[in-house]
Structure 1
Amino acid sequence: MTCCPHCQGADRFFNQRVAAADLRRYQRRGPTGTTGRLLGALTSTGVAGMTLLDIGGGIGVIQHELRAAGVTEITSVDASRAYLALARREAERRGYAADARYVHGDFVALAGQIEAADIVTLDRVVCCYPDMEALMHHAAARARRFLGLVYPRDGWWMKLGVAILNISPRLRRDAFRSFIHPTEAVEGIAAANGLRKTVHHNDPFWQVVLFAR
């Protein structure tokens, strides 16, 4: 396990209580919102027989849904032990845990140990990591066919909202923060790694982007 102070903060923030609530919501409603939109973009390409690297995948919504769509092998890397435990438990319940690998820690620090996959996903992860450039470079380099992102729009209203959101951890002296990274910079790193944008959807707060190689 390798975890920087920021990721240790994420481990505390995304704890057992948060993870259990996320799992209950998913079991009631299935994939919704921007996650559902990203899944739709991926499954429309035909994912049967592909492999998946899900970075910061939480309780594993993308993993479970893409496995049902035909993905064969899954690697989940997350800074939250609670999320990883529930993702594994749900995979066991669905009967595919033997085809999944669960890695706890900072993906950037662990990247040299993580193999490339046909599909790499970061669903609301770019906004939870301070070094966007390193995160995106390592993720894009490991995407053999597709890179799927959900991350915040970089409008002023989002910057204001995140500044307010970060007041509480700052007062607690917690290292975890949320971030708004420039869209142009995120997309530029994907392009520099040989990926072209094929899907881009904006809602008022988030953007869903699929890049293909």
Structure 2
Amino acid sequence: MYEILLKNPNASIPVLSKASQFSRTMLYYVLNNLIAMELANSSKTGKKTVYNSAPPEKLEEFVADQQKELDRQKNALKGIIPDLGSIYRLSHKKPGLRFFEGISGVREVWWDSLSSKTEIYTYGDLELLATKFSDLNSKFVKERVKRNIVKKAITNDSPFNRDFLNKYDRTFTFTRLISGYSVDFSSTIMNIYDGKVSYTTLVGDSTIGVIISDKQIYQMHKTMFEYSWSCL
């Protein structure tokens, strides 16, 4: 239609209808869209309304603007594709798997458990949480307590852990220590909650997080934790 307007300046509806072979209803619809996109304009000549195309440069500008908007939407889509993929896999009975990087990723993994409708079961490096990640952990605990989410944790027995736990509020957090057996939870946290299992590895540039959403994997780890808990 734009090309027809370009070839027929000051064209009336009858002229455009003949040139385009559109019905009058469709012709008005197309012309109104072109006017809205600033690719055409209308004016009165006496009692007659005539239509003209905008300069070709305007068409080039319109295409460039559309490309910018497409690029913006493409970039926005990149950010949500992992979550959409997880939803798709879960709906098709496949395990959902999400990866995160850096401290912001660790925060996202931990905060995911704050929507849990179950207790959180945890294995992990308590000393690391209480020292290098104390600020982030304190914020997480504060938010968890605010939401009345109980956490049970298993960690290794050590003088530091015993001293720390002696001063720790046990209202919403219960911890048992593995003693008499060498365990290595260094730099790692594992959370089991609400149909999910998450892992965070807290090692400098290799700080990463993973969330697995799968009922069977969750149930297996939940059962193993509860058995371990009952033995301590």
TM-score (norm 1): 0.35
TM-score (normalised: structure 2): 0.32
- Which structure has the greater CA radius of gyration? 2
Query: Higher relative contact order at CA 8 Å, sep ≥6: structure 1 or structure 2?
Result: 1
Higher helix share: 2
